Amino acid sequence: MDPSTIVVVGAGQAGCQAAASLRERRYGGRLVLVGAESHLPYQRPPLSKGHVTGQVQRDTLWLHPASFYQHQDIELYLAETVDEIDRDGRRVRLGSGETLPYDHLVLALGARNRPLTVAGAELDGVVALRTLDEADSLRERLAAATNVVIVGGGFIGMEIAATAAKLGRAATVIEVADRLMGRVLSTQTSKFLLGAHRSRGLNIGLGTSVSRIEGRDGVVSAVHTSDGRQLPADLVIVGIGAVPNVELAAAAGLKVDNGIVVDEYLRTEDPDISAVGDCVSCPSRFAGGLPVRLESVQNATGQPRSLAVRLAGGEPAPYDAVPWFWSDQADLKLQIAGLIAGHGSTALRGSLEGERFSVFCFDEGGALIGVESVNSPSDHMVARRLIQSGVPVTREQILDPELDLRALALGKVGKPSTATH
Protein backbone atom coordinates (compact mmCIF):
# COMPACT_ATOMS: atom_id res chain seq x y z
CA MET A 1 0.00 0.00 0.00
CA ASP A 2 1.27 3.47 -0.84
CA PRO A 3 2.01 5.66 2.17
CA SER A 4 -0.73 8.11 3.03
CA THR A 5 -0.42 11.83 2.41
CA ILE A 6 -1.29 14.63 4.84
CA VAL A 7 -1.48 18.18 3.52
CA VAL A 8 -1.41 21.03 6.03
CA VAL A 9 -2.74 24.33 4.72
CA GLY A 10 -1.33 27.30 6.60
CA ALA A 11 2.28 27.67 7.74
CA GLY A 12 1.75 29.78 10.83
CA GLN A 13 2.30 28.53 14.37
CA ALA A 14 -0.56 26.00 14.21
CA GLY A 15 0.30 24.58 10.80
CA CYS A 16 3.98 24.31 11.54
CA GLN A 17 3.24 22.64 14.88
CA ALA A 18 0.91 20.16 13.18
CA ALA A 19 3.64 19.09 10.76
CA ALA A 20 6.31 18.90 13.46
CA SER A 21 4.08 16.95 15.85
CA LEU A 22 3.14 14.44 13.18
CA ARG A 23 6.80 13.60 12.68
CA GLU A 24 7.32 13.47 16.45
CA ARG A 25 4.50 10.91 16.55
CA ARG A 26 6.34 8.90 13.88
CA TYR A 27 3.91 9.57 11.08
CA GLY A 28 5.76 8.11 8.10
CA GLY A 29 3.70 9.21 5.11
CA ARG A 30 4.10 12.15 2.77
CA LEU A 31 3.75 15.44 4.64
CA VAL A 32 3.19 18.76 2.87
CA LEU A 33 3.04 22.21 4.48
CA VAL A 34 1.60 25.04 2.38
CA GLY A 35 2.08 28.68 3.41
CA ALA A 36 1.09 31.95 1.76
CA GLU A 37 4.14 33.90 2.94
CA SER A 38 7.58 33.55 1.42
CA HIS A 39 9.31 33.30 4.82
CA LEU A 40 9.97 30.19 6.84
CA PRO A 41 7.30 29.70 9.53
CA TYR A 42 7.94 32.18 12.34
CA GLN A 43 6.80 33.32 15.80
CA ARG A 44 4.25 36.11 15.88
CA PRO A 45 4.25 37.27 19.55
CA PRO A 46 7.62 39.10 19.32
CA LEU A 47 6.42 41.13 16.33
CA SER A 48 4.49 43.61 18.47
CA LYS A 49 7.17 43.86 21.14
CA GLY A 50 10.88 43.06 20.76
CA HIS A 51 11.00 42.98 16.98
CA VAL A 52 9.42 46.44 16.66
CA THR A 53 12.07 47.93 18.94
CA GLY A 54 14.93 46.06 17.25
CA GLN A 55 15.72 44.02 20.37
CA VAL A 56 14.63 40.81 18.63
CA GLN A 57 16.28 40.15 15.29
CA ARG A 58 14.58 38.53 12.33
CA ASP A 59 16.79 35.42 12.32
CA THR A 60 15.66 34.51 15.84
CA LEU A 61 11.98 34.44 14.85
CA TRP A 62 12.00 31.23 12.81
CA LEU A 63 10.16 28.35 14.48
CA HIS A 64 12.69 25.99 12.88
CA PRO A 65 15.66 26.43 10.55
CA ALA A 66 15.34 25.38 6.93
CA SER A 67 17.33 22.22 7.67
CA PHE A 68 14.60 21.03 10.05
CA TYR A 69 12.08 20.61 7.25
CA GLN A 70 14.62 18.80 5.11
CA HIS A 71 15.62 16.42 7.90
CA GLN A 72 11.98 15.77 8.85
CA ASP A 73 11.00 15.24 5.20
CA ILE A 74 8.37 17.99 5.33
CA GLU A 75 7.70 19.41 1.88
CA LEU A 76 7.43 23.21 2.12
CA TYR A 77 5.30 25.08 -0.40
CA LEU A 78 5.96 28.72 0.49
CA ALA A 79 4.52 31.84 -1.19
CA GLU A 80 1.68 29.56 -2.27
CA THR A 81 -2.05 29.52 -1.62
CA VAL A 82 -4.73 26.86 -1.74
CA ASP A 83 -7.57 28.14 -3.89
CA GLU A 84 -9.90 25.16 -3.83
CA ILE A 85 -10.60 21.97 -1.91
CA ASP A 86 -11.94 19.07 -3.97
CA ARG A 87 -13.44 16.92 -1.23
CA ASP A 88 -14.71 14.22 -3.58
CA GLY A 89 -11.34 13.86 -5.26
CA ARG A 90 -9.43 14.46 -2.01
CA ARG A 91 -7.10 17.03 -3.49
CA VAL A 92 -6.40 20.73 -3.26
CA ARG A 93 -5.72 23.14 -6.09
CA LEU A 94 -2.94 25.65 -5.51
CA GLY A 95 -2.84 29.20 -6.75
CA SER A 96 -0.06 28.17 -9.13
CA GLY A 97 -2.43 25.65 -10.71
CA GLU A 98 -0.74 22.58 -9.25
CA THR A 99 -2.92 20.03 -7.46
CA LEU A 100 -1.94 18.10 -4.34
CA PRO A 101 -3.67 14.85 -3.39
CA TYR A 102 -4.37 14.16 0.27
CA ASP A 103 -5.58 11.31 2.42
CA HIS A 104 -6.10 13.78 5.23
CA LEU A 105 -6.26 17.56 5.08
CA VAL A 106 -5.44 19.85 8.01
CA LEU A 107 -6.69 23.42 7.79
CA ALA A 108 -4.59 25.85 9.83
CA LEU A 109 -5.76 28.95 8.02
CA GLY A 110 -5.35 31.44 10.85
CA ALA A 111 -7.02 34.82 10.92
CA ARG A 112 -6.59 38.26 9.39
CA ASN A 113 -6.86 41.74 10.81
CA ARG A 114 -10.28 43.30 10.96
CA PRO A 115 -10.15 46.34 8.66
CA LEU A 116 -10.89 49.89 9.76
CA THR A 117 -13.71 51.12 7.53
CA VAL A 118 -13.61 54.90 7.81
CA ALA A 119 -12.70 57.63 5.35
CA GLY A 120 -8.92 57.95 5.11
CA ALA A 121 -8.11 54.41 6.20
CA GLU A 122 -6.33 53.92 2.87
CA LEU A 123 -3.80 56.72 3.50
CA ASP A 124 -0.09 56.03 3.69
CA GLY A 125 0.85 55.72 7.33
CA VAL A 126 -2.30 53.83 8.36
CA VAL A 127 -1.00 50.33 9.08
CA ALA A 128 -1.83 47.05 10.78
CA LEU A 129 0.36 44.33 12.24
CA ARG A 130 0.12 40.61 11.65
CA THR A 131 2.89 39.50 9.30
CA LEU A 132 6.66 39.72 9.49
CA ASP A 133 6.78 42.09 6.53
CA GLU A 134 4.29 44.37 8.29
CA ALA A 135 6.42 44.25 11.44
CA ASP A 136 9.54 45.21 9.47
CA SER A 137 7.70 48.16 7.97
CA LEU A 138 6.24 49.21 11.33
CA ARG A 139 9.66 49.20 12.96
CA GLU A 140 10.93 51.69 10.37
CA ARG A 141 7.82 53.85 10.59
CA LEU A 142 7.83 53.89 14.39
CA ALA A 143 11.46 54.97 14.46
CA ALA A 144 10.60 58.01 12.33
CA ALA A 145 7.22 58.85 13.91
CA THR A 146 6.42 61.66 16.31
CA ASN A 147 2.68 61.34 16.95
CA VAL A 148 1.25 57.82 16.99
CA VAL A 149 -2.42 56.91 17.27
CA ILE A 150 -3.33 53.31 18.09
CA VAL A 151 -6.89 52.29 17.23
CA GLY A 152 -7.99 49.51 19.56
CA GLY A 153 -7.25 48.77 23.22
CA GLY A 154 -6.89 45.00 22.98
CA PHE A 155 -3.82 42.78 23.28
CA ILE A 156 -2.01 43.94 20.13
CA GLY A 157 -3.04 47.57 20.47
CA MET A 158 -1.81 47.88 24.05
CA GLU A 159 1.43 46.03 23.37
CA ILE A 160 2.30 48.35 20.48
CA ALA A 161 1.11 51.42 22.36
CA ALA A 162 3.29 50.54 25.36
CA THR A 163 6.23 50.04 23.03
CA ALA A 164 5.62 53.39 21.33
CA ALA A 165 5.45 55.21 24.67
CA LYS A 166 8.62 53.45 25.84
CA LEU A 167 10.36 54.73 22.70
CA GLY A 168 9.37 58.25 23.63
CA ARG A 169 6.66 58.76 21.03
CA ALA A 170 3.53 60.78 21.76
CA ALA A 171 1.12 57.83 21.72
CA THR A 172 -2.67 57.87 22.01
CA VAL A 173 -4.96 54.84 22.23
CA ILE A 174 -8.53 55.11 20.93
CA GLU A 175 -10.86 52.41 22.31
CA VAL A 176 -14.57 52.25 21.53
CA ALA A 177 -15.42 50.33 24.71
CA ASP A 178 -15.58 51.91 28.15
CA ARG A 179 -12.52 50.00 29.39
CA LEU A 180 -9.36 48.36 28.09
CA MET A 181 -9.44 44.73 27.00
CA GLY A 182 -13.01 44.53 28.25
CA ARG A 183 -13.85 41.31 26.41
CA VAL A 184 -11.19 39.28 28.21
CA LEU A 185 -10.45 41.01 31.52
CA SER A 186 -12.26 41.67 34.76
CA THR A 187 -13.12 45.27 35.59
CA GLN A 188 -10.49 45.34 38.32
CA THR A 189 -7.57 44.31 36.12
CA SER A 190 -8.78 46.48 33.25
CA LYS A 191 -8.94 49.51 35.54
CA PHE A 192 -5.45 48.78 36.87
CA LEU A 193 -4.00 48.63 33.35
CA LEU A 194 -5.64 51.93 32.43
CA GLY A 195 -3.99 53.70 35.35
CA ALA A 196 -0.66 51.94 34.90
CA HIS A 197 -0.39 52.86 31.21
CA ARG A 198 -1.44 56.45 31.79
CA SER A 199 1.23 56.77 34.47
CA ARG A 200 3.77 55.55 31.88
CA GLY A 201 2.90 58.31 29.44
CA LEU A 202 0.15 56.81 27.32
CA ASN A 203 -2.85 58.93 26.36
CA ILE A 204 -5.94 56.71 26.36
CA GLY A 205 -9.39 57.66 25.15
CA LEU A 206 -12.23 55.31 26.11
CA GLY A 207 -15.78 55.22 24.80
CA THR A 208 -14.81 56.87 21.55
CA SER A 209 -13.98 55.80 18.01
CA VAL A 210 -12.34 57.07 14.85
CA SER A 211 -14.77 59.03 12.68
CA ARG A 212 -12.31 59.80 9.87
CA ILE A 213 -8.62 60.05 9.13
CA GLU A 214 -7.19 63.17 7.57
CA GLY A 215 -4.26 63.25 5.19
CA ARG A 216 -1.97 65.60 3.35
CA ASP A 217 -0.58 64.63 -0.05
CA GLY A 218 -1.77 61.06 0.48
CA VAL A 219 -0.08 60.71 3.89
CA VAL A 220 -1.88 60.57 7.22
CA SER A 221 -1.77 63.77 9.25
CA ALA A 222 -4.59 63.60 11.81
CA VAL A 223 -7.25 61.38 13.34
CA HIS A 224 -10.75 62.69 14.07
CA THR A 225 -12.70 60.98 16.85
CA SER A 226 -16.41 60.57 17.45
CA ASP A 227 -16.21 62.78 20.55
CA GLY A 228 -14.95 65.72 18.52
CA ARG A 229 -11.20 65.57 19.00
CA GLN A 230 -8.58 66.03 16.31
CA LEU A 231 -5.35 64.17 17.07
CA PRO A 232 -2.15 64.90 15.15
CA ALA A 233 -0.76 61.69 13.70
CA ASP A 234 2.03 60.70 11.36
CA LEU A 235 1.43 57.02 12.13
CA VAL A 236 -1.87 55.22 12.79
CA ILE A 237 -1.78 51.59 13.90
CA VAL A 238 -5.03 49.63 13.65
CA GLY A 239 -5.63 46.76 16.07
CA ILE A 240 -9.38 46.20 16.25
CA GLY A 241 -9.53 42.43 16.30
CA ALA A 242 -9.25 39.59 13.84
CA VAL A 243 -11.47 37.73 11.42
CA PRO A 244 -11.00 33.95 11.01
CA ASN A 245 -10.03 32.79 7.54
CA VAL A 246 -12.96 30.49 6.77
CA GLU A 247 -13.69 31.25 3.12
CA LEU A 248 -11.79 28.26 1.73
CA ALA A 249 -13.60 25.89 4.09
CA ALA A 250 -16.99 27.48 3.43
CA ALA A 251 -16.53 27.21 -0.33
CA ALA A 252 -15.84 23.49 0.16
CA GLY A 253 -19.15 23.11 2.00
CA LEU A 254 -17.71 22.77 5.50
CA LYS A 255 -19.68 24.29 8.37
CA VAL A 256 -18.43 27.66 9.61
CA ASP A 257 -19.67 29.77 12.52
CA ASN A 258 -17.16 32.28 13.87
CA GLY A 259 -14.54 29.85 12.65
CA ILE A 260 -14.40 26.43 11.05
CA VAL A 261 -16.64 24.25 13.19
CA VAL A 262 -14.93 21.18 14.66
CA ASP A 263 -15.75 18.71 17.41
CA GLU A 264 -13.65 18.07 20.51
CA TYR A 265 -11.35 15.86 18.42
CA LEU A 266 -10.78 18.75 15.96
CA ARG A 267 -12.70 16.97 13.21
CA THR A 268 -14.83 18.85 10.71
CA GLU A 269 -17.99 17.30 9.27
CA ASP A 270 -15.73 15.70 6.65
CA PRO A 271 -13.85 12.76 8.27
CA ASP A 272 -10.88 13.46 5.99
CA ILE A 273 -10.49 17.09 7.08
CA SER A 274 -9.45 18.51 10.46
CA ALA A 275 -8.77 22.09 11.50
CA VAL A 276 -6.66 23.77 14.19
CA GLY A 277 -5.65 27.18 15.50
CA ASP A 278 -7.08 30.67 15.20
CA CYS A 279 -9.51 29.67 12.45
CA VAL A 280 -11.29 27.04 14.55
CA SER A 281 -14.47 27.10 16.63
CA CYS A 282 -14.12 24.20 19.08
CA PRO A 283 -16.24 23.14 22.07
CA SER A 284 -14.57 23.68 25.44
CA ARG A 285 -15.58 22.52 28.90
CA PHE A 286 -14.01 25.74 30.15
CA ALA A 287 -16.74 27.59 28.27
CA GLY A 288 -19.51 25.36 29.59
CA GLY A 289 -19.22 23.05 26.60
CA LEU A 290 -19.94 25.84 24.14
CA PRO A 291 -17.79 26.35 21.04
CA VAL A 292 -15.14 29.05 21.32
CA ARG A 293 -12.53 30.44 18.96
CA LEU A 294 -9.27 31.26 20.71
CA GLU A 295 -6.40 33.31 19.35
CA SER A 296 -3.36 32.28 21.36
CA VAL A 297 -0.02 30.55 20.98
CA GLN A 298 -1.13 27.95 23.52
CA ASN A 299 -4.12 27.04 21.39
CA ALA A 300 -2.08 27.10 18.18
CA THR A 301 0.38 24.58 19.61
CA GLY A 302 -1.88 22.49 21.86
CA GLN A 303 -4.53 21.68 19.26
CA PRO A 304 -2.03 20.43 16.63
CA ARG A 305 -0.28 18.25 19.20
CA SER A 306 -3.60 16.69 20.16
CA LEU A 307 -4.55 16.20 16.53
CA ALA A 308 -1.23 14.58 15.67
CA VAL A 309 -1.87 11.79 18.15
CA ARG A 310 -5.04 10.82 16.31
CA LEU A 311 -3.66 11.20 12.78
CA ALA A 312 -0.52 9.23 13.59
CA GLY A 313 -2.56 6.27 14.81
CA GLY A 314 -2.48 6.91 18.54
CA GLU A 315 -5.39 6.74 20.97
CA PRO A 316 -7.65 9.71 20.13
CA ALA A 317 -8.42 12.06 23.00
CA PRO A 318 -10.51 15.23 23.07
CA TYR A 319 -8.65 18.52 23.17
CA ASP A 320 -9.12 19.60 26.79
CA ALA A 321 -6.47 22.13 27.76
CA VAL A 322 -7.10 25.14 29.96
CA PRO A 323 -7.00 28.23 27.72
CA TRP A 324 -4.20 30.59 28.69
CA PHE A 325 -2.82 33.79 27.27
CA TRP A 326 -0.11 36.34 27.96
CA SER A 327 0.68 39.90 26.98
CA ASP A 328 3.86 41.89 27.62
CA GLN A 329 3.01 45.58 27.89
CA ALA A 330 6.07 47.67 28.78
CA ASP A 331 7.25 46.23 32.13
CA LEU A 332 3.85 44.66 32.86
CA LYS A 333 3.49 40.94 32.20
CA LEU A 334 -0.17 40.00 32.03
CA GLN A 335 -1.01 36.28 32.14
CA ILE A 336 -4.52 34.88 31.96
CA ALA A 337 -5.69 31.34 32.73
CA GLY A 338 -9.22 30.22 31.92
CA LEU A 339 -12.18 32.06 30.43
CA ILE A 340 -13.97 34.60 32.63
CA ALA A 341 -17.03 35.45 30.53
CA GLY A 342 -20.04 35.59 32.83
CA HIS A 343 -17.99 35.58 36.03
CA GLY A 344 -19.56 36.80 39.22
CA SER A 345 -17.30 37.51 42.20
CA THR A 346 -13.55 38.13 42.27
CA ALA A 347 -10.80 37.86 44.87
CA LEU A 348 -7.52 39.75 44.86
CA ARG A 349 -4.16 38.39 46.01
CA GLY A 350 -1.12 40.61 46.02
CA SER A 351 -0.73 44.35 45.63
CA LEU A 352 -2.21 46.64 42.98
CA GLU A 353 0.06 49.43 44.16
CA GLY A 354 3.10 47.18 43.92
CA GLU A 355 1.98 46.06 40.44
CA ARG A 356 2.24 42.40 41.43
CA PHE A 357 -1.10 40.68 41.94
CA SER A 358 -3.66 38.17 40.71
CA VAL A 359 -7.42 38.50 40.34
CA PHE A 360 -9.27 35.19 40.82
CA CYS A 361 -12.64 35.07 39.05
CA PHE A 362 -15.52 32.83 40.14
CA ASP A 363 -18.78 31.99 38.39
CA GLU A 364 -22.19 32.55 39.94
CA GLY A 365 -21.99 29.11 41.56
CA GLY A 366 -18.67 29.90 43.24
CA ALA A 367 -16.41 27.80 40.96
CA LEU A 368 -13.04 29.20 39.94
CA ILE A 369 -13.10 29.84 36.18
CA GLY A 370 -10.25 32.26 35.52
CA VAL A 371 -7.24 34.02 36.98
CA GLU A 372 -5.56 37.19 35.75
CA SER A 373 -1.99 37.70 36.95
CA VAL A 374 0.19 40.78 36.60
CA ASN A 375 3.90 40.22 37.20
CA SER A 376 2.98 37.07 39.16
CA PRO A 377 4.06 34.09 37.04
CA SER A 378 3.95 31.65 39.96
CA ASP A 379 0.28 32.49 40.56
CA HIS A 380 -0.40 31.89 36.87
CA MET A 381 1.12 28.42 36.90
CA VAL A 382 -0.87 27.48 40.01
CA ALA A 383 -4.04 28.88 38.45
CA ARG A 384 -3.69 26.71 35.36
CA ARG A 385 -3.34 23.62 37.53
CA LEU A 386 -6.30 24.58 39.72
CA ILE A 387 -8.60 25.20 36.77
CA GLN A 388 -7.50 22.14 34.81
CA SER A 389 -7.94 19.77 37.75
CA GLY A 390 -11.07 21.33 39.16
CA VAL A 391 -9.64 21.27 42.70
CA PRO A 392 -12.26 23.03 44.85
CA VAL A 393 -11.19 26.50 45.92
CA THR A 394 -13.28 29.22 47.49
CA ARG A 395 -13.11 32.97 47.39
CA GLU A 396 -12.47 32.98 51.13
CA GLN A 397 -9.43 30.74 50.68
CA ILE A 398 -7.98 33.05 48.04
CA LEU A 399 -8.43 36.03 50.35
CA ASP A 400 -6.46 34.25 53.07
CA PRO A 401 -2.84 35.46 52.62
CA GLU A 402 -1.52 32.48 54.60
CA LEU A 403 -3.02 29.89 52.27
CA ASP A 404 -0.41 27.95 50.30
CA LEU A 405 -1.90 28.01 46.80
CA ARG A 406 0.67 25.64 45.38
CA ALA A 407 -0.10 23.05 48.05
CA LEU A 408 -3.79 23.43 47.31
CA ALA A 409 -3.21 22.94 43.57
CA LEU A 410 -1.21 19.79 44.29
CA GLY A 411 -4.14 18.36 46.26
CA LYS A 412 -2.57 18.89 49.64
CA VAL A 413 -4.55 20.39 52.48
CA GLY A 414 -3.99 24.11 52.82
CA LYS A 415 -4.46 26.16 55.95
CA PRO A 416 -8.18 26.32 56.81
CA SER A 417 -9.52 29.77 56.12
CA THR A 418 -11.50 31.87 58.54
CA ALA A 419 -11.78 34.86 56.23
CA THR A 420 -15.30 36.13 55.74
CA HIS A 421 -14.70 39.31 53.79
Reported as a single tens digit per residue, the pLDDT across 59-117 is: 899 999 999 999 999 999 999 999 999 999 999 999 999 999 999 999 999 999 999 99
CB 25 within 8 A of CB 72: no
How many of the other CB atoms lie within 10 Å of CB of 195?
A: 11
Per-residue pLDDT of 236-278, as tens digits, reads 999 999 999 999 999 999 999 999 999 999 999 999 999 999 9
Q: Where does the pLDDT of residue 411 fall: very low under 50, low under 70, confident under 90, or very high at 90 and above? A: confident
Mean pLDDT of the chain: 93
324 domain residue, yes or no: no
Give the DSSP H or E segment for 300. Answer: helix 297-311
Same-domain pairing of 124 and 236? yes
Q: Is residue 375 part of a domain?
A: yes
Q: Please name which of 292, 321, 305 lies closest in space to residue 384, comparing C-alpha atoms.
A: 321
Same-domain pairing of 215 and 250: no
DSSP E strands, 24-119 = 30-34, 74-77, 82-86, 91-94, 99-101, 104-107, 111-113
Sheet of 203-206: strand order equals 126-128, 235-238, 147-151, 170-175, 203-206
b/e string for 206-237 if b means 16 or more Cβ within 10 A?
Answer: bebbbbebbbeeeebbbbbbeeeeebebbbbb
Amino acid at 342: G
* Identity of the residue numbered 205: G
417 lies in some domain: no
Domain of residue 271 covers 5-112+243-311
**By the 8 A CB rule, do 381 and 366 touch?**
no
Mind listing the pLDDT tens digit for each residue in 36-61?
999 999 999 888 878 888 788 888 99
Write down which residue in 240, 273, 301 finishes a domain: 240
Which residues, 6 or more positions from 117, have their beta carbon under 8 angstroms from its beta carbon?
Answer: none
Structural domain contains residue 319: no
